[in-house]
Structure 1
Amino acid sequence: MAGSRRAGIVNMAQGSENPNLISLDGLRRALRDRLHLLSPQVLRAAIFVLENPARVAFSSVRGLADEAGVNPATIVRLAKIAGFETFKPFRDVFREAVGSNEVHYGERAAALLGPTNAAEPDLAIRIGETAIGNIGTLFQPETRQTIRDAARALVGARRIFVAGFRSSYALAYYFAYAGRMAFPGIRLAQASGLPISDELAEMETGDALFIVTFSPYSQEALKATELARTLGVTVVIVSDSFTAPVTRGAGHVIEVPMAGPQYLPSLVAGTAACEALLAEMVQIAGDPAITAIEAFEKRVRAVGSYTE
């Protein structure tokens, strides 16, 4: 019986040359369809994994085993049954999905309430470690070049329209506020109170659209990039995926990792990308940008905006 059970499940990821490329949805379906073949302890672990995908994404083998009520060897066994050589690539499927819409906000929030133990870092430490990892992933050589190229495109634009929706608005607002100190032609599209379509309809050839968006992607972001393409406007996007629907036809896409144990995607790496982009823009623009920043600071100090 044990031999037939093993033969029936060891190739769970069959159909993909690399089982590590299997999606979370595919992995969960494969596990669900083979539950009746699993031994009691592996079954217990599999049920926990199916019901708590967000917890899997940021747990160690021991931490996940403690939560599932099994021993660590059972978790490793489950990963191997799923077609992975070790636990890490198995967990990576869940971690990648946490940064997309495969794991929804409610599931992510529920994961915050899971039991803790001495072997697991506390939640704040996990959030910090993940944020640091995201920043390290962002600032790879190829990404740095992408940021420089995007900066050149924005500096060369006549006007820069900035947009972000829902939680992405925070990054768009920061970019527009900090950017206007050096580049007065930056406009936050939602600032005037006009419908976004009315504001962006003012874009012309020679302008640029800077937009922040990540999964699940808003309809407004998609419409904004489509309008920009129609008008022949340069598009620079900060997003969590090169293949997001909004990136089609974009001139520059800065891909930022947004994984994290919190219930919304992490904005830390996105903020760092905006900061790096603005710094590159100032460096490229040179003295005129520095002069503009100095003049801005003098104005706000003159009207008593700061407390000394």
Structure 2
Amino acid sequence: MKAIEEIIRDKYAQLTPQERKLADFILDRPSDLAIFNSAELARLCGVSKATVSRMFKHLGFSSFREGRVESRRQRQQGVPVVEGKPSKRTFAPHFEREINNLKILQASLSEASVSEMAEALAAARRIKVVGFRNSYPIALHIRQQLIQVRTDVDLAPLPGQTLAEELEGMGADDIVIFIALRRRPKLFDKALNHMIQRKIPVLLITDASLRKVADRVKWWVECPLESVSGFDGYSAAMSVSTLICNTLLHQMAVTGQSRILSISDAYREMNELDFT
């Protein structure tokens, strides 16, 4: 279904002047639609409750409530909802929300569980890191960190390749780190089933939308994505990725540090990085 804002823009010319006051308010503050009830929305816009009800029926909904439910559903699925213009309503609350997301993440983890993940990553024969769309930068970051510490860490699928090719030959001695944040490709379910059927241990870094598969994977990390405006917040996902990689580095202190130093020497020999 189209976003509420798109539907409003499509039908804006057909709305009455009073309905347009309400439409303008929603277009300027689309995230507020999921917060206010019809009475509050009417008062804020200076229109009647009947106007609120009529406008949503003109938009194709059976009631205001149905429109609000749809707005919340889209928000939960990660559909970007844009505020009208930057303001104090987004600046300070942005950092407050990100900090809160990190606190929620911390409360859901234990030091023992993170250590267990790191131990498994240290012992694995091979590691594949998988992430599509918004999950891809996090997958890329994890692979970049892990390859500093140990060998046989690959990003999958490589450009022009299929995931099936990348996973072929993997088994119980390997690990797939699967980053699967919301608005995932439909491939996810089949890919996860493929890994489980082949008994490949999976570390799944995701959000609340995949709680239904939590008991199917070896390790489960749920990252809050909530933000105060349109785009999801990924600080929790990036933070837990860094935590896991750092824990692995400490557990592989001797071999990990030796590899880091060797790579640093190669940087200098090849003059690839600026160390100043």
Does the alignment reach a TM-score above 0.5?
yes
**2:182–2:209 CA contact under 8 A, matched in 1:** no
Deviations 1:139-187 (A, max 9, x none): 1263444322222222221111100000100000000011101011211
Name the count of aligned residue pairs. 230
**1:237–1:250 CA contact under 8 A, matched in 2:** yes
Match of 2:58 in 1: none
Q: Does 1:202 align with 2:202?
A: no
Alpha-carbon separation, structure 1, partners of 2:259 and 2:35:
44
Q: 1:57 to 1:276 in 2, by over 3 A?
A: farther
Match of 1:55 in 2: 32
For structure 1, the 5+ residue unaligned runs are 1-43, 71-92
Alpha-carbon separation, structure 1, partners of 2:71 and 2:107:
20
Match of 2:99 in 1: 132
Alpha-carbon separation, structure 2, partners of 1:97 and 1:294:
49
Match of 2:181 in 1: 214
Q: 1:124 to 1:292 in 2, by over 3 A?
A: same
Q: Does 1:123 align with 2:99?
A: no
1:100 partner letter: Q
| 1:91-106 → structure 2 map (5 Å cutoff) | 100-101=76-77, 104-105=79-80
| 1:225-304 → structure 2 map (5 Å cutoff) | 225-241=192-208, 243-244=210-211, 247=214, 249-304=216-271
Cα deviation, residue 292, structure 1: 1.1
Q: 1:219 to 1:146 in 2, by over 3 A?
A: farther
Percent identical: 17
SS state at 2:272 partner: coil
Q: 1:269 to 1:155 in 2, by over 3 A?
A: same
Alpha-carbon separation, structure 1, partners of 2:42 and 2:141:
42
Cα deviation, residue 277, structure 1: 0.7
Match of 1:17 in 2: none
Q: 1:142 to 1:270 in 2, by over 3 A?
A: closer
1:174 partner letter: H
Alpha-carbon separation, structure 2, partners of 1:67 and 1:146:
49
For structure 2, the 5+ residue unaligned runs are 1-20, 47-68
2:79 partner letter: H
Q: 1:211 to 1:188 in 2, by over 3 A?
A: same
Superposed CA RMSD in Å reads 3.5
Q: 1:139 to 1:56 in 2, by over 3 A?
A: farther
Alpha-carbon separation, structure 1, partners of 2:121 and 2:35:
37
Alpha-carbon separation, structure 2, partners of 1:207 and 1:184:
13
